Chains A and B, each alone.
Chain A
Amino acid sequence: NAGVTQTPKFRVLKTGQSMTLLCAQDMNHEYMYWYRQDPGMGLRLIHYSVGEGTTAKGEVPDGYNVSRLKKQNFLLGLESAAPSQTSVYFCASSPQYTEAFFGQGTRLTVV
């Protein structure tokens, strides 16, 4: 009964380093989303995907890239991390136009 699983749960990066956050879902959902959450800012959409091989920009895409090579996985990449990217990152999956299921989040600190 895994649902949406995010890896890793915590990470500390140095400025300029790169990393990839992995999101995996086992519910056969077409739609997947990456959000960042900062205090007082709610959840802001970074990128999303409506199916395998597709990606699209959200509200705050700069500094991030994504890939959806397999339907069950949605990867979020930071090519050159900056302190402004310190945040909690949430992945979600959804059937179209209905409930979104969230992973437990990744706490990323960039120093």
Chain B
Amino acid sequence: GQSLEQPSEVTAVEGAIVQINCTYQTSGFYGLSWYQQHDGGAPTFLSYNALDGLEETGRFSSFLSRSDSYGYLLLQELQMKDSASYFCAVQNRDDKIIFGKGTRLHILP
């Protein structure tokens, strides 16, 4: 089977840095993606890692360690608009995209 684990909620202060972790168990792993979803909206793509290491896109970075079946999303210079749910998702060689249950990020002023 396949499973992804991520914290259900994280709270951080505006302007700070927050890290959202994701561990996964799957066969035929190809890559790890991150998505953001605001309340009432659709998920939107943030980043994708197929190789070990850090990928940076503006204030957001994502890391992958294939040997540890682990990744994280790093959000810097937090803004109130970053309050949302964040999902990690594994892409498998059987072409499925399987999502975790999501992490709700609360940002305090």
Contacts A43-B87, A99-B33, A99-B48 hold; do A94 and B97 have CB atoms under 8 A apart? yes
Query: Does A98 make an interface contact (CB < 8 A)?
Result: yes
Could you tell me if B30 and A97 are in contact, using CB atoms closer than 8 angstroms?
Answer: yes
Residues in B whose Cβ lies below 8 Å from that of A33? 97
- Interface status of A90 (Cβ within 8 A of chain B): yes
Query: Which residues of A sit under 8 angstroms from B45, Cβ to Cβ?
Result: 99-101
Q: Which residue of A lies closest to B101 (CB)?
A: A42
Count of residues in B whose CB is under 8 Å from the partner chain: 23
What residues of chain A lie closer than 8 Å to B8, measured between beta carbons? 40
How many angstroms between the C-alpha atoms of A1 and B87 in the bound complex?
Answer: 25
Instruction: Judge whether A35 and B30 touch: CB under 8 Å.
Output: no
Is there a chain A Cβ closer than 8 Å to B71's Cβ?
A: no
Do B96 and A43 touch (CB < 8 A)? Answer: no
A110 interface hit (Cβ, 8 Å): no
Residues of B within 8 A of A98 (CB): 48
Chain B contact surface mostly:
strand
What is the 8 Å Cβ interface bit string for chain A, positions 90-111, against chain B (1 contact, 0 not)? 1010101111111111000000
**What is the CA–CA distance of A99 and B45 in the complex, to the nearest angstrom?**
6
**Contacting pair B31 A97 (CB below 8 A):** yes
Most buried by A among B30, B31, B102: B102
Q: Tell me how far the C-beta of A23 lies from the nearest C-beta in chain B, rounded to whole angstroms.
A: 12
In the complex, the answer to whether B95 meets A50 with C-beta atoms within 8 Å is yes
Given contacts A97-B30, A97-B50, A100-B33, contact A45 B43 (CB under 8 A): no
Most buried by B among A35, A99, A101: A99
Q: List 14 A-B contacts (CB under 8 A).
A: A31-B95, A41-B101, A42-B99, A42-B100, A42-B101, A45-B96, A48-B95, A48-B96, A48-B97, A56-B95, A92-B43, A96-B95, A100-B33, A100-B45
Binding site for B on A (CB under 8 A): 31, 33, 35, 40-45, 48, 50, 56, 58-59, 90, 92, 94, 96-105
